[in-house]
Structure 1
Amino acid sequence: VVPMAVEHGSAVVALTIDEISMGKTTERKVEIAHKIYDICVDEYGLAPNALIFDVLTFPVTTGQEELKTAAIETLEAITRTRAELPGVLTILGVSNVSFGLQQHARAVLNSVFLYHAVKAGLDLAIVNPVHITPYTEIDAEQRQLAEDLIYNRADALPRYIAYFEEHAPQQDNGNSKVDPTEGMNLAERIHWQILHRRKEGIEPMITEIIAERSQELGIKQSEVAVNVLNTVLLPAMKDVGDRFGAGELILPFVLQSAEVMKRAVAHLEGYLEKVEGYTKGKVVLATVFGDVHDIGKNLVNTILSNNGYTVYDLGKQVPLNTILDKAIEVNADAIGLSALLVSTSKQMPLCVKELYKRGLNFPVIVGGAAINRSYGRRILFVDEQTPDAAPVPYDHGVFYARDAFEGLEIIDRLTSSPEQRASFIERIKEEALKERLKKTERTTRATGETTSQAKEDIASSSVKPALSIPRPPFWGPRVLDRIGIEDVAPCMDLNTLFRLHWGGKTHGADFTRLVEMEFRPRLKRMLLEARQRRYLQPKAIYGYFPCQSSGNELIVYDPAEMQGQQPKGSLREIARFYCPRQQERERLCLADYFAPVNSGKIDVVALQIVTMGQSATEAIQQLQDAGDYAEAYFVHGLAVEMAEGLAEYTNRLIRQELELDEQRGRRYSWGYPAIPDLEDHVKVFQLLPARKTIGVDLTEAFQLVPEQSTAAIVVHHQQATYFAVREQAAVSV
């Protein structure tokens, strides 16, 4: 399992169970965790943050003497595991602690235990959110009874059982309030409006609370406005963020709350115009040079802006000098960098090194799909990072943020008191140094190991000749510019759309309800709007080319030289793609799936480029500029998944034209593990004239624009499979 996890970049969950028994005491749990860590991390090279420990918990509700301290043992094991094995994560099936109780009694115990587990360092929890109540909302007496049971205090179990036998679950008598804000004061109603995404009426409420507090406090309205911002609006957005972090809100709901917040703050601006210094801090944001993706950066902008920070958003594909010049100009409190792909994330360490070289003092926050916490720690160092190099950190800090709310938390700490800021930066540097030293030890051990490698360009013995070479209906490129949205939509992966692009993180009945009540009606409406407003304009160019393989290379010939399946004469090479080969396992290489030169056979390769058009990008930007963050998020997600749907639509057409079954005609895109080199896009554009036919271009970093575009090679071989190629001795992101 572990070699597969390392190969595919997967995480693993490890229970603290060994060949002797399940770990029931803290000592046994931690002892087993160390054994597993040594095998997974030290022996197989699994990244520590890909190792998730379930330290197990057992019922404290059975009355068995040996299980009375089960909750304490679990909480202590969580804390020690994270402290003694830096970088690992922890997970827990929380409800095991309450097994055997009535449901309403279990819900209280589970909720209180979850609270203490998170305080102990728990990263992930397996719970039914319907049965979890926030700690502060639990009745004080019930909370105390649960804590007595968790911490094994005198007669805790009989007292707990007796209480919940006397107190049955509360029933809803149907007399719920028509107005959910009835009985709330004005500040609480504003908080409720933001939390529940209600824009209507927010401005009059802001006007009213400013007038009310101005009279009560006897100060001018401009000063009251700052007070309202700091004591009403910002705490409301913090509550939204906390609930998102706890899994209670999906991302689109957070963005809708941000829209309410923006409207409220905009109304405050009239009062704040003459007040200087009310911003909490200044942040320069940018998607790094060469990267055309900015949805993540836009989310960070939205969250920071609506939490009192001044954000200078420089957009996407921003050169390094532009970022640094802006940070100097505005005296920024931090620089935020975003990247989607591994290739463009290399701009991040360049930025850190340039800051160090110039003697600048801006903390750097990095994020994006291409990187993780280990990467953030690694690029904090500006030396060459060879095993014998002395660590040279960038003293002002590099911080990884997994999402916008962690970014907000980091900025809050960086703009706190000088002492707190210095302590925070020092802790991050210590964590980075500890991880670097561990990796250096592993690298040193691995250097002494030798393995016999087969010659790099010899074809994999596991790949057999193709069962047949398909006959294409034509040679060369063909344009599809009259594709209907209704033809593309059925090719989308709705699970990916709903979960990944639209933020549907719930499960079971909650997810089904979200899909049926929110997402499907929205999808139907948005597809209709896309047709009416023409902001999704699907176009594709694809084609068939004669080819052969030579070692690790795929040679593409001029299609004009073909007549049917045979060349008219000698074939002229017009492109050559290098395909990297695995250095382990089956030693797969994409070139192996095509007939080699020495076979005497002419094979066929299909290439495709698809796009949803520039109009999609413009529509998203217009919504973002108008402050309609949630709708921009939904449109972006739909456009991206429709581009994938269009790629699948074109792929299906190629399968049909080549008369391939569902098991053949696999699609590979550049920048992904089997063919990671984006520079090959230049050759694809030489073969498929996408610029003048469907309006797709390349950036200087070889990415496709518009963003909602993809390019791929289609392989007809029956054994074609997805695989990863890793460079030898490379440090994984």
Structure 2
Amino acid sequence: MHTAVKIAPRYSNPVIYVLDASRSVPVVASLLDPNQKDEFAQDIAEEYEEMRQEYYDGLEEKRLLSLQAARNKAFKINWQMSPPAQKPAFIGTKLFDNYPLEKLLDRIDWNPFFQVFQLRGRYPNRGFPKIFDDETVGAEAKRLFDDAQTMVKQILKNNSLTARAVVGFYPANSVGDDIQIYEDETRSTAVKTFFGLRQQNEKESDEPYYCLSDFIAPRETGLPDYLGIFAASAGFGADELSNKYRDDQDDYSSIMVKAIADRFAEALAEKLHEDIRKEYWGYAPDEELTAADLFAVKYHGIRPAPGYPSQPDHTEKLAMWDLGDIAKQSGITLTESLAMEPGASVSALVFGHRESKYFAVGKIDKDQ
């Protein structure tokens, strides 16, 4: 939608959104094929025009509350009855270098992997492993999965990919819509501020208007609270291996390497978050959840990522990277547009309160 509304109208040539870089191959192939380019570009242009019209029609229907009105209807936690999570096991950062990929194998969510190759089962055979039973794509999905397992074994045998992560915890309190990070437990000196965005789209129900700062104890309560961060990557070595396959004219394997690295990175994020809940922060030491429970977000606490619905501002990564010295410690860097390098990387803020929840900020007004 953002591409259709904000970007495409500013260019005379085709502008096409792809969900993931690894899916760009068929799009580029269509654009380079003189027999397909014009029709393909026209189809996209017509689709984007319909999306723009839908977007502008929606604007007429939606009302935005003023920022002050939204703040007046903010989510309120009774901090005396439901205090912040306990103090983490350490304050500051911890580096996980050369994290064993073998520990992540049972954490991999394979569903997005098939989407990279544009394989989708139809109901009731959507998702992994039901996709193997689909009449249309089942056989191809099984072959793809088997090839991926072979490549995973090769990666593990040859140590082709390296996983690395940084986890950090810091004294924190909310001040209005923002979250202040303090130098030490005296909380007298703020060293960083994470700027929250509050929902403003008018709601028909009595549901509150959320902001991430709602889940951190306000400074005026006098209660000590904490904020966690992490950055994780399983992409070290992925570009080199992918380029090797590409140089050998093996585009299939070149794409698969990056898709597998992405799966390992997401699995590492899942594992780190579990270890945070059970050990490093330790607010859920007795948690026992299945893989399905984890994918269904049945755990306490949340890990919203900058650039995603609960915190759509990518610039918050700058505060994270500076606070945790992430680039120097881990080698995970930020580009000018604040994308993470290596590409197979994940980062997030970590909130421990049991009432914290994911939400979408949505559209905001100029007063915010």
TM range (shorter): 0.7 to 0.9
Q: Report how far residue 406 of structure 1 moved.
A: 9.3
Instruction: State the distance in 1 between where 2:330 and 2:317 align.
Output: 15
Q: 1:514 to 1:467 in 2, by over 3 A?
A: farther
Matches within 5 A, 1:633-712: 633-657=255-279, 658-661=281-284, 662=287, 663-712=299-348
Instruction: State the distance in 2 between where 1:702 and 1:611 align.
Output: 15
Structure showing greater Rg:
1
3-state secondary structure, aligned to 2:237: helix
Q: Report how far residue 691 of structure 1 moved.
A: 1.7
Instruction: State the distance in 2 between where 1:439 and 1:540 align.
Output: 39
The answer to whether the 8 Å contact 2:120/2:131 transfers is no
The answer to whether the 8 Å contact 2:302/2:356 transfers is yes
Instruction: State the distance in 2 between where 1:450 and 1:676 align.
Output: 17
- The aligned counterpart of 2:132 is 511
Q: 1:628 to 1:402 in 2, by over 3 A?
A: closer
3-state secondary structure, aligned to 1:612: strand
Return the letter of the residue paired with 1:538. Answer: A
Aligned equivalent of 2:101, options 485, 490, 496: 485
Instruction: State the distance in 1 between where 2:267 and 2:46 align.
Output: 45
Deviations 1:527-564 (A, max 9, x none): 22112322210111111100000111011111xx23xx
Deviations 1:303-336 (A, max 9, x none): xxxxxxxxxxxxxxxxxxxxxxxxxxxxxxxxxx
The answer to whether the 8 Å contact 1:660/1:716 transfers is yes
- The aligned counterpart of 2:293 is none
Deviations 1:235-273 (A, max 9, x none): xxxxxxxxxxxxxxxxxxxxxxxxxxxxxxxxxxxxxxx
3-state secondary structure, aligned to 2:162: coil
Higher relative contact order (CA 8 A, sep 6+): 2
Q: 1:535 to 1:541 in 2, by over 3 A?
A: same
TM-score by length of 2: 0.77
Return the letter of the residue paired with 2:313. Answer: D
Pair 1:500 & 2:150 matched: no
- The aligned counterpart of 1:235 is none
Return the letter of the residue paired with 2:342. Answer: P
Instruction: State the distance in 2 between where 1:612 and 1:463 align.
Output: 37
Q: Report how far residue 641 of structure 1 moved.
A: 0.9
Q: Report how far residue 491 of structure 1 moved.
A: 1.8
Instruction: State the distance in 2 between where 1:482 and 1:535 align.
Output: 11
Deviations 1:77-118 (A, max 9, x none): xxxxxxxxxxxxxxxxxxxxxxxxxxxxxxxxxxxxxxxxxx
Q: Report how far residue 369 of structure 1 moved.
A: 2.2
The answer to whether the 8 Å contact 2:194/2:316 transfers is yes
The answer to whether the 8 Å contact 1:697/1:706 transfers is yes
CA RMSD of aligned residues (A): 3.7
Return the letter of the residue paired with 1:579. Answer: G
- The aligned counterpart of 2:69 is 455
Aligned residue pairs total: 332
Pair 1:369 & 2:5 matched: no
- The aligned counterpart of 2:167 is 542
3-state secondary structure, aligned to 1:576: strand
The answer to whether the 8 Å contact 1:459/1:589 transfers is no
Instruction: State the distance in 2 between where 1:546 and 1:450 align.
Output: 34
Q: 1:408 to 1:592 in 2, by over 3 A?
A: same
- The aligned counterpart of 1:553 is 178
Deviations 1:200-248 (A, max 9, x none): xxxxxxxxxxxxxxxxxxxxxxxxxxxxxxxxxxxxxxxxxxxxxxxxx
Instruction: State the distance in 2 between where 1:712 and 1:435 align.
Output: 30
Instruction: State the distance in 1 between where 2:46 and 2:89 align.
Output: 62
Unaligned regions of 5+ residues in structure 1, if any?
1-8, 10-341, 356-362, 371-400
Return the letter of the residue paired with 1:511. Answer: F
Q: 1:695 to 1:459 in 2, by over 3 A?
A: farther
Q: Report how far residue 409 of structure 1 moved.
A: 9.9
Return the letter of the residue paired with 1:551. Answer: G
Instruction: State the distance in 1 between where 2:283 and 2:326 align.
Output: 26
Deviations 1:370-423 (A, max 9, x none): 9xxxxxxxxxxxxxxxxxxxxxxxxxxxxxx9963994598525569xxxx9xx
TM-score by length of 1: 0.41
Q: Percent identity?
A: 22
The answer to whether the 8 Å contact 2:84/2:216 transfers is no
Pair 1:525 & 2:141 matched: no
Instruction: State the distance in 1 between where 2:108 and 2:72 align.
Output: 38
Return the letter of the residue paired with 2:255. Answer: Y
Instruction: State the distance in 2 between where 1:450 and 1:506 align.
Output: 39
Q: Report how far residue 430 of structure 1 moved.
A: 8.1
3-state secondary structure, aligned to 2:228: strand
The answer to which structure has the higher helix fraction is 1
Matches within 5 A, 1:27-46: none
Q: 1:429 to 1:542 in 2, by over 3 A?
A: closer
Aligned equivalent of 2:234, options 607, 612, 618: 612
The answer to whether the 8 Å contact 1:467/1:718 transfers is no
Return the letter of the residue paired with 1:526. Answer: M
Q: 1:554 to 1:432 in 2, by over 3 A?
A: closer
The answer to whether the 8 Å contact 1:477/1:687 transfers is no
Pair 1:412 & 2:35 matched: yes
3-state secondary structure, aligned to 2:35: helix
Unaligned regions of 5+ residues in structure 2, if any?
288-298
Return the letter of the residue paired with 1:572. Answer: T
Q: 1:459 to 1:682 in 2, by over 3 A?
A: farther
Deviations 1:120-150 (A, max 9, x none): xxxxxxxxxxxxxxxxxxxxxxxxxxxxxxx
